Amino acid sequence: MTPALLGNLGVSLALAFSLLGLALSLLAYQQGDGRFLKGARALVLPTFLAALTAFFALEWALLTHDFSLAYVARNHSTQDPLWVTLVTPWAALEGSILLWGLLQTLYTLLASRKPLDSWRASLVLAVLFGVQVFFFGVMATIASPFQTLPNPPADGNGPNPLLQNHWMMAVHPVLMYLGFVGLSVPFAYAVAAMVVRRYQTWVGETRWWTLIAWGFLTAGKVAGMWWSYEVLGWGGYWAWDPVENASFIPWLLSTAFLHTAIVQETRGAFKAWNFAFVTLAFAATVLGTFLTRSGVIQSVHAFAEGPVGPAFLGFFLLVTGLGLGLLSRVSREVRDTAVFRLLSREGALLLGAFFFAGWALVVVLGTFYPLVVEAFTGAKVSVGAPFFNQVSAPLGAGILLLMGIGPILPWRRLRAEVFRNLYVLLAVLLLGTLLGLLRGYTFGASLAVGLFLYNTAAILLLVREGVLARLRVGLSPWGFLENRRRVGSLLVHFAVALLALGIAFSQTYRLESEKTLYRGQAWEVGGVRMEFLGVRALDEGRRFAVEASLRTDRFGEVRPRLHFYPQMNSPLPAPKVIYTPGNDYYFLLMDFDREKGEWASIRLIVTPLVFWMWVAGGLLALGTLYILWPAAKQEEVRGVSPA
């Protein structure tokens, strides 16, 4: 047995089981025969085990340096450290599709364990098996990770240096895939609900799955921002790169669904919107994969290109057509007939969802406009960060405004007693903005301060009301923590406000300066005094490194690097970043004296509040985890809300 044989066997079995499971699931629905559903369910675990076998076969090939596999020869080297070898399966096209397929079978396995009536269970399984058929079909035909070479090389090329320059690449892609793949489950529930015409219960069942996928997507995006910040050497965390945009779109649409789902759960409204958001969110993950893997765009993130573009484009059209086609069929039955007031909780939630969806539309248009222009005219145009920043700023401010006011508003209509809280929030917003202006901040940064304080005040008001309500009936004030959904969402909202504050200040007050220093020469910039001590060369086997030594008055000795990989013509910066709560200090070695090491060009970037963006990322994950954590039995006391 060889890795190639074992891997091909695993992929073939996974494809065969998925096809059989799809057929049995459809028969179960059409015939109403539980035996077919039982048979389909029995195939879920073997499919997962077959996919796991294929994945381990690829790891086996990498660990044993089996360069008879084309994937291993292209993306692995005997010089790679162990951790790089272990994460190489998702370093390129075929391996990343295998990872997607494996995670898809895992989600199908978990979804099959959830109790559902037989009609919907068979349709949910049919959709998930159908998704698996696509991915394992792609692996079995046009993107096999187990294709062999007639004349294997003695050593391989190693993965893209960008992937081996930071440990975050071991985490970021997996989190993103867990988010992407996770959105297939809500899509399957939505399809089943529309087919069997049961429009209410699926939302509560689906919201849990969506929150899991959303949590992984959020964590993956924050990890990706951190990776960009530390690896690409430009001192930034977001560039509106097409691949960044492609992963941002499903995040925006799933966020919209999480908000409108609350309204359907509570008031039975927004059914059509929820079907649309879930469909588009999953379709956007496929569209993003098409962008990333087809080679139609040039991006620092487009690590894997291949002949899979038409297949993913076709699958995107199939997913979109299936979801929106079914929605069109049932549109009259899911139409909202009630009139909603804007100044109510449901009005704020719907308006917030429109902001998220509108933001997604803007990102889609900005990302695809250059492709459309080139396709029709041949001209190359670009839509850069200034466009996205200008459009995103008011949308983000609107979302932050609604995020604070929405939970304060009551359902249906505004009551008189709520006005006191609204006046308090408005006063905090105005005072915070004014305070920023008085301190000399720009209007945008001042507004960010105001919105952060405004959202913090809204959270404190909600907690205060929950605690007072419990105290009035003699309950422990800490009982409000038992409402995990409410408390977790407040923590997420606080994290979003903190993230927005970090973005506003880091974008507005970034200081960047560069200077060539000779040995012993000192330089003071951004509140830091540094002295250049020299450079040294390091042979690290798989790469060659040059390290500059700088003695600073605040952080001791810092050593930014340049890494030279055989696969790259130009060096890859490895900055030294000093994180502090106030400012980040980002030291970069730009160039050096290659003969005597007597001089080096150093760039220092000072960026405020970036540290808090990573803290916000952690709080986002913590809040999501708290919501998902199984809740203890609630105290049932009439008239008391835990928070």
The DSSP-derived string for 173-241 is HHHHHHHHHHTHHHHHHHHHHHHHT--SHHHHHHHHHHHHHHHHHHHHHHHHHHHHHHHSSSS-S----
Three-class SS state of 564: strand
Express as a percent the part of the chain with pLDDT over 70.
95
Q: Is 639 left (phi over 0), alpha (psi -120 to 50) or beta?
A: left
Mean pLDDT of 144-167: 85
Three-class SS state of 607: strand
Query: Does the pTM of the predicted model rise above 0.75?
Result: yes
CA–CA–CA angle 362, 366, 372 (5° rounding) = 125
CA–CA–CA angle 512, 518, 521 (5° rounding) = 80
Nearest to 576 by CA among 598, 553, 556, 597: 556
* Whether the predicted pLDDT of 637 surpasses 70: no
**8 Å CB contact between 628 and 212:** yes
**8 Å CB contact between 279 and 324:** yes
CA distance 22 to 617: 38
Residue 502's beta-bridge partner residues? none
| Structure confidence at residue 643 as a pLDDT band (50, 70, 90) | very low
* Whether the predicted pLDDT of 568 surpasses 80: no
CA 81 to chain centre: 27
Mean pLDDT of 255-270: 90
* Whether the predicted pLDDT of 413 surpasses 80: no
Mean pLDDT of 308-313: 87
What is the per-residue pLDDT for 305? 57
DSSP one-letter code for 632? P
DSSP one-letter code for 421? H
| Structure confidence at residue 370 as a pLDDT band (50, 70, 90) | confident
Tokens 């992937």 identify what position?
Answer: 163
Q: Which two tokens stand for residue 250?
A: 């499903």
* Whether the predicted pLDDT of 633 surpasses 70: no
* Whether the predicted pLDDT of 612 surpasses 80: yes
CA distance 97 to 107: 15
Residue 561's beta-bridge partner residues? 547, 574
**8 Å CB contact between 546 and 562:** yes
What is the per-residue pLDDT for 556? 94
What is the per-residue pLDDT for 297? 64
CA distance 436 to 444: 9
* Whether the predicted pLDDT of 32 surpasses 50: yes
CA distance 242 to 224: 14
Q: Which two tokens stand for residue 82?
A: 């162990």
CA distance 162 to 38: 46
| Helix-helix angle 93-112:271-294, to 10 degrees | 150
Tokens 């991915």 identify what position?
Answer: 135
What is the per-residue pLDDT for 635? 46
Return the higher-pLDDT residue of 12 and 265.
Answer: 12
Q: Which helix (H) or strand (E) holds 579?
A: strand 576-579
What is the per-residue pLDDT for 570? 83
**8 Å CB contact between 182 and 107:** yes
Return the higher-pLDDT residue of 321 and 207.
Answer: 321
- Highest average pLDDT, of 183-192, 194-203, 465-474, 534-543, comes from 183-192
3-state SS, one letter per residue, for 113-177: CCCCCHHHHHHHHHHHHHHHHHHHHHHHHCCCCCCECCCCCCCCCCCCHHHHCCHHHHCHHHHHH
Q: Phi first, then psi: what are they for 550, rounded to 5°?
A: -125, 125
Q: Which two tokens stand for residue 386?
A: 């200034």
* Whether the predicted pLDDT of 84 surpasses 50: yes
CA distance 495 to 296: 35
What is the per-residue pLDDT for 222? 93
Q: What is the pLDDT of residues 437-452, one digit of tens each?
A: 999 999 999 999 999 9
32-70 burial code (b ≥16 CB/10 A, e <16) = eeeebbebbbebbebbbbbbebbbbbbbebbbebbbbbb
What is the per-residue pLDDT for 93? 87
Three-class SS state of 350: helix
Residue 601's beta-bridge partner residues? 516, 591
CA–CA–CA angle 129, 130, 133 (5° rounding) = 85
